[in-house]
Chain A
């Protein structure tokens, strides 16, 4: 009908126009056929200069009624547009008419006339019409239709009056452009009317509420009307405020209700869904400026308000059941609100402390404690890694919590970790490859790091290491060395120096034995050298202490011992040797009716068996007198020989236990499918006293270690305040100490002249060289 595109030829595009009105209502709907060229619609731009019309040589005289006639024509055209009827003039004529009016100083009046016509239409036609619509849903649609029509009309009108807009309006800052004038009038007479406004906003809120309840609503209608409010610059005043209030009320109620109805994972999933929906609402029809307040409201009412309950009600369960996805969601949701992660981390930390305590505190569960600790650590690490984004706060919290709970039970975890390592390093542990073992050791070291009394670990570790070394039960030299270097790295050389000393003793013993064989060969006596004697020489202090026992050895063994003593002490003056019968191992050749066997036995087992070379039957008392083996030890030894799997002796009367009335004879019919038979010893259970003794030794050793550390620090620093010395000590010592302990040791070193108080400042110490 109207060829608006021809306007383009008259207008320069001005993409940089400073004052760019919002034509959203039009540009978003293709139905009116003018959507393609926004640039056409630029008004009040800087292009006026180029449109100065030249060549008015002189003003022609006009007829008297020219103005009235011209306005009549123009008004007709405007009314035609408003009533959607054809215009009886050609557009070219109308443009010219507007231009002429402006040229004859009638611009101001023309603007006033135009405004009047438009106001009249809006006030007297549009407003009464919309007032008449009763149905709430139809109302919104009609309102939207009116708005669209208004925009369409204003574009056409303005295109006719473009010259006025360019020449007059642009140069008169006090008046709005034709387009803005249209908006102003629509605002004033249509939406500004209380009834229409209330019905519009109520209708919008109702639609949104209905969508929130799950209904499908006309989003385009919502979008169009909300853009209308934005274009009319009343979005915030009449809509946004009420919308946010409604949102707040809805989610306040929903949060309270669903916290009762849903379990925590369901609730979290619901919150997640709600946040997505609200974000979509912003994308689809709300003004972008509403996003922050809207999302914030949802977060506050659905998350912040229930932080404490969510954590108290749900976290433990999620962690117990390793609900990775739910935990990730919880982290993500909580990270949106203030204090969310702080609270989560606090509860996570308490959970670890609580669960961890149950792992270490119950003596009934000692058997599985270390494996449980490793599993628990793996599980928590994995959660921090996959659910809590490896956040440093959480990583540190795990460490703090482990260190806290593992030391809730003094000494025992350290002891059990040592035993666990032993079980992995001992021969026969076939469950792991070298790499797996290495990885496992690394994991154990992580747990070990949390232990305060590391020296307790060392004491127990040493006991087991001694056993592995002396009985040749270590699975792998590499693994042993690797573990040692891990300990050294973790605790320093002072910590491992004695353990390293044990390995060194084993190496030195090998050399000593080579030299001893040479020595025996050179003796050239008539000595019956049928026994192959090997001695492991241990440095006292490096190794655990073993009970001192004296037993009666056969003459030839005593002789051998003396030869070795002479050999060894000749090489090392100032030393003495203490033989340890409890640790001795022997190989016996035995002749049974079914043939020869080699018996792998302990020294005590050997001593008992050798007695049967002299007599066939021996009573318990005979054996005790002959060997002088301590009672408990002897009973266990006899039990192993007469009641175990490989029964080399026979006991009368038969039975599982050995009593002092028993009689023994050797079992000539002994059979075994193997040639070499190992007769297992019956291990005495580690008694409480022994355990206490080990701990006792640890505590004594701590005194020396504190002394050594003080001397080491003072030697380096020469002079140091009490405070600094104490803090350095805390850094270096691998076990818990109190300031009182340290003070005592410092006093003792001052007494012994290793250090002295500064004469001027008694709180300062000087190293005494």
Chain B
């Protein structure tokens, strides 16, 4: 897989090195850095209180759906934050608010603060 840059380590031999006369040059210089970072939703509680599945996973209903995307997520199965700062699967919360307009955790009136993207 060519996604990471560090390949063909020992394959190349350019032979003798061209001499650099710059005496100020450092002993070691960092030229390339292939870093790895993990993203997750910035939530206080990593489990959705409605379906009790981790918010990084698709909600239970989306997992149950036959036609799944890579990762088992529908594109819209993201996290939603309320003004109360509580977060849930957007799918779960939409279902929930059809019956109850309050946050299932703190009972404050539900209004969306932001959506995951």
Contacts and interface: CB of A to CB of B under 8 A. Distances in A.
- State whether these chains interact: yes
Interface of A: 468-472, 474, 477, 480, 493-494, 497-498, 500-501, 503-504, 506-507, 509-510, 530-543, 546, 554, 556-557, 560-561, 564, 568, 571-580, 583-591, 594-600, 603, 606, 609-610, 612-613, 666, 673-678, 704, 707-709, 711-712, 715, 752, 754
Which one of B11, B32, B38, B41 has the highest number of Cβ atoms from chain A below 10 Å of its Cβ?
Answer: B38
Given A510-B3, A715-B64, A538 B39 contact: yes
Interface in B21-47: 25-42
Interface of B: 1-7, 9-20, 25-42, 51-54, 56-57, 60-61, 63-66, 68-72, 78-79, 81, 114-117
A574 B42 contact: yes
Given A579-B35, A584-B36, A536 B54 contact: no
Contact of B56 (A468, A541, A603, A709): A541
A613 B26 contact: yes
Given A530-B30, A573-B114, 5 more contacts: A470-B4, A477-B1, A557-B33, A575-B116, A587-B30
A504 B53 contact: no
Contacts of A585: 4, 6, 33-34
Contact of B36 (A531, A579, A599): A579
B17 A587 contact: no
The 7 closest A-B pairs by CB, nearest first: A595-B17, A501-B71, A678-B9, A712-B64, A574-B116, A708-B63, A587-B32
Contacts of B81: 574
Contacts of B20: 591, 596
A675 B60 contact: no
Contact of A576 (B5, B31, B40, B61): B40
A673 B33 contact: no
Contacts of A477: 1
Contacts of B9: 600, 676, 678
Contacts of A594: 17
Contacts of A541: 40, 54, 56-57, 71
A711 B13 CA distance: 58
Nearest to B17: A595
A539 to B, nearest CB: 6
Given A530-B29, A678-B10, A578 B5 contact: no
Contacts of B29: 530, 588-590
Contacts of A571: 117
26 contacts: A472-B3, A497-B72, A501-B70, A501-B72, A503-B70, A506-B3, A536-B34, A557-B30, A573-B115, A574-B41, A577-B37, A578-B38, A585-B6, A588-B28, A588-B30, A588-B31, A591-B25, A591-B26, A595-B17, A595-B19, A597-B17, A613-B26, A676-B14, A711-B63, A712-B65, A712-B66
A573 B57 contact: no
B34 A573 contact: no
B41 A575 contact: yes
A578 to B, nearest CB: 5
Contacts of B17: 594-597, 675
A573 B116 contact: yes
Nearest to B66: A712
A455 to B, nearest CB: 14
A561 B33 CA distance: 11
B41 to A, nearest CB: 6
A534 B34 contact: yes
Contacts of A542: 71
A587 B35 CA distance: 12
Contacts of A754: 60
B72 A613 contact: no
A574 B12 contact: no
Nearest to B53: A704
A556 B117 CA distance: 29
Nearest to B95: A769
Contacts of B7: 472
Given A471-B4, A533-B33, A574-B117, A674 B10 contact: yes
B13 A674 contact: yes
A469 B3 contact: yes
Nearest to B15: A675
Contacts of B41: 574-576
Nearest to A709: B64
A504 B71 CA distance: 9
A533 B14 CA distance: 24
Nearest to A606: B30
B1 A469 contact: yes
A586 B4 CA distance: 11
Contacts of A534: 4-5, 32-35
Nearest to A542: B71
A534 B31 CA distance: 11
A108 B45 CA distance: 123
A699 to B, nearest CB: 15
A576 B30 contact: no
A701 B33 CA distance: 34
Given A504-B71, A674-B12, A675-B17, A579 B31 contact: no
Nearest to B8: A676
A467 to B, nearest CB: 11
Contacts of B10: 674, 676-678
Nearest to A471: B4
Contacts of A504: 70-71
Contacts of A675: 12-15, 17
A714 to B, nearest CB: 8
A221 to B, nearest CB: 82
A735 B10 CA distance: 43
A503 B69 CA distance: 12
A704 B69 CA distance: 18
A470 B39 CA distance: 15
Contacts of A597: 17
Contact of A707 (B18, B60, B71): B60
A577 B39 CA distance: 5
Nearest to A668: B27
B71 A577 contact: no
Given A536-B3, A539-B56, A540-B40, A531 B33 contact: yes
Contact of A711 (B15, B33, B61, B115): B61
Which one of B28, B65, B78, B115 has the highest number of Cβ atoms from chain A below 10 Å of its Cβ?
Answer: B28
